[in-house]
Amino acid sequence: MTGPRPEPFDAVGVIRIKRDRGRIPDAEIDWVIDAYTRGVVADEQMSALAMAILLNGMQADELSRWTDAMIASGERLDLSAVSRPTTDKHSTGGVGDKITLPLAPLVAALGGAVPQLSGRGLGHTGGTLDKLESIPGWRAEVSNADFVRQLNEVGAVVCAAGDGLAPADRKLYALRDVTATVEAIPLIASSIMSKKIAEGSSSLVLDVKVGTGAFMKTETDARTLARTMVELGTAAGTHTVALLTDMNTPLGLTAGNALEVAESLEVLSGGGPCDVVELTVALATEMLAGIGITDIDPAEALNDGRAMDVWRRMISAQGGDPSAPLPRAREVDVFAAPSSGVLTRLDAYAVGVAAWRLGAGRARKEDPVSAGAGVVMLAKPGDRVIAGQPLLELHADEPDRFERARQALDGGFDISNDSSAGDGGTVALVIDRIAADSAR
């Protein structure tokens, strides 16, 4: 009687290499990711390796191999049957970031196929699936066959990733969350890029947020993450570009699920807040350029209704009713300006936490969210306000949530009585563009 086949390597040896600032050999990278997925490498061993990576980093080719091993832990979507060129976008997350909602149908209306695998929100950042699930009937789960069919027939799919896509990442992500290794840039980059590369799109645009409401608080860290991900995508044969974008102030005028859907519909109707339109058009331009479409102004398809037509078909294809009324919170409370002057700062993190406490977000992945909860911003930096004027609307299903949301907003804004402060809110939304030739 024979026992189980012996493992070719051991986890302690791999940990020791990285602990001592070495480069993990390719074969040992392949093994440790596979063995962890199989349960041979224990959580405490992978925790030690993740901490060693956080402290000592990874070389570019080492990280590329690590990412390849993460992809190889599961299935890779086959989009060869899609008749249009495929192009995707990933955002590192922010407050009021509803850009995927108008962006996917916009790019589809102009000839691209957008295979968007999205997630749910956690903490102060909102999730695309939570927003879309506020639409009556809409479902996030789509089979692989329906995924390809919808890309061919509609041009855009926004849905949940299946369990078979990069399962090593799902295990490692949960482990990082409880071992203080979430901030490791190599692990962030490989987590994002393993799923995006496995998704099979030929072109990818990364929206890397920087600021108080973003995961990356400093431009230096955001730039490092962007360059790392561009390098990984390029090495994998995916045309990859990153935009660094500001997230010190929330995007648009809403933070909350149904509230952000309503605002996205304004953008698809040719209106909406200027910053949401600007970023949607900028990302659409990059996505289309990545598949060779450079002679079209995306803004035209927002104004003439083409993008809205695709939106309706995209929502209907996943069981949603694009004409149904969106959920509304049962209670609304007004947060008034305490003084007169120019609003010079509205902190994205404070607004995000307020929306979370109102019920729009979750503390744990299994928590429910309120479709109608959130914050409506009645003024943005650069606007003049009068004492007592409504500054924010707080929407919640339970009135006892308002007090904690107000506490989150304490210190989250500045009003200046300086008459020259009228331009205080003018900040470049797109900070920089990082492509393969500028990634190093």
Q: Who wins on pLDDT, 163 or 67?
A: 67
Which residue is catalytic, options 65, 90, 120, 196?
Answer: 90
Same-domain status, 319 and 335: no
Q: Which two tokens stand for residue 115?
A: 């295979």
Which residues are registered as beta bridge partners of 86? 113
Spatial contact of 242 and 229, defined as CB atoms under 8 Å apart: yes
Count of CB atoms situated within 10 Å of the CB of 13 = 11
Which residue is catalytic, options 18, 124, 131, 176?
Answer: 176
CA distance 358 to 398: 8
Same-domain status, 234 and 288: yes
Question: Which CATH number goes with the domain that contains 214?
Answer: 3.40.1030.10
Q: In this structure, is residue 29 part of a structural domain? A: no
Which residues are registered as beta bridge partners of 157? 115
Q: Considering the chain, what is the average pLDDT of its residues? A: 94
Same-domain status, 239 and 342: no
Which residue is catalytic, options 68, 130, 169, 275?
Answer: 169
Same-domain status, 205 and 238: yes
Q: In this structure, is residue 167 part of a structural domain? A: no
| Catalytic residue flag (residue 195) | yes
Same-domain status, 286 and 354: no
**What is the pLDDT confidence band of residue 367, given thresholds at 50, 70 and 90?**
confident
Same-domain status, 251 and 317: yes
Domain, as residue range, for 414: 331-423
Question: Which CATH number goes with the domain that contains 342?
Answer: 3.90.1170.30
Same-domain status, 300 and 409: no
| Catalytic residue flag (residue 202) | no
Q: In this structure, is residue 172 part of a structural domain? A: no
CA distance 133 to 256: 12
CA distance 224 to 221: 5
Count of CB atoms situated within 10 Å of the CB of 312 = 16
State residue 422's pLDDT score. Answer: 54
pTM flag (> 0.75): yes
CA distance 351 to 349: 5
Which three-class secondary structure state does DSSP give residue 434?
strand
Same-domain status, 263 and 296: yes
| Catalytic residue flag (residue 309) | no
CA distance 269 to 307: 8
Total structural domains within the chain = 2
CA distance 167 to 22: 26
**What is the pLDDT confidence band of residue 366, given thresholds at 50, 70 and 90?**
confident
Q: In this structure, is residue 249 part of a structural domain? A: yes
Same-domain status, 316 and 369: no
User: In the predicted model, what is the mean pLDDT of residues 389-404?
Assistant: 97
Same-domain status, 222 and 277: yes
| Catalytic residue flag (residue 217) | no
Q: In this structure, is residue 39 part of a structural domain? A: no
Q: Which two tokens stand for residue 67?
A: 């990412």
CA distance 231 to 133: 34
Which residue is catalytic, options 47, 73, 91, 191?
Answer: 191
Same-domain status, 291 and 409: no
Which residue is catalytic, options 195, 196, 209, 357?
Answer: 195
Q: In this structure, is residue 4 part of a structural domain? A: no
DSSP annotation string for 139-168: -----HHHHHHHHHHTSEEEEEPPTTS-HH
Span 305-359, pLDDT tens digits = 999 999 999 999 999 999 999 999 999 999 999 999 999 999 999 999 999 999 9
State residue 84's pLDDT score. Answer: 96
| Catalytic residue flag (residue 176) | yes
State residue 424's pLDDT score. Answer: 47
Q: In this structure, is residue 135 part of a structural domain? A: yes
Same-domain status, 396 and 280: no
Spatial contact of 357 and 374, defined as CB atoms under 8 Å apart: no
Q: In this structure, is residue 45 part of a structural domain? A: no
- Is the pLDDT confidence value at 1 over 60? no
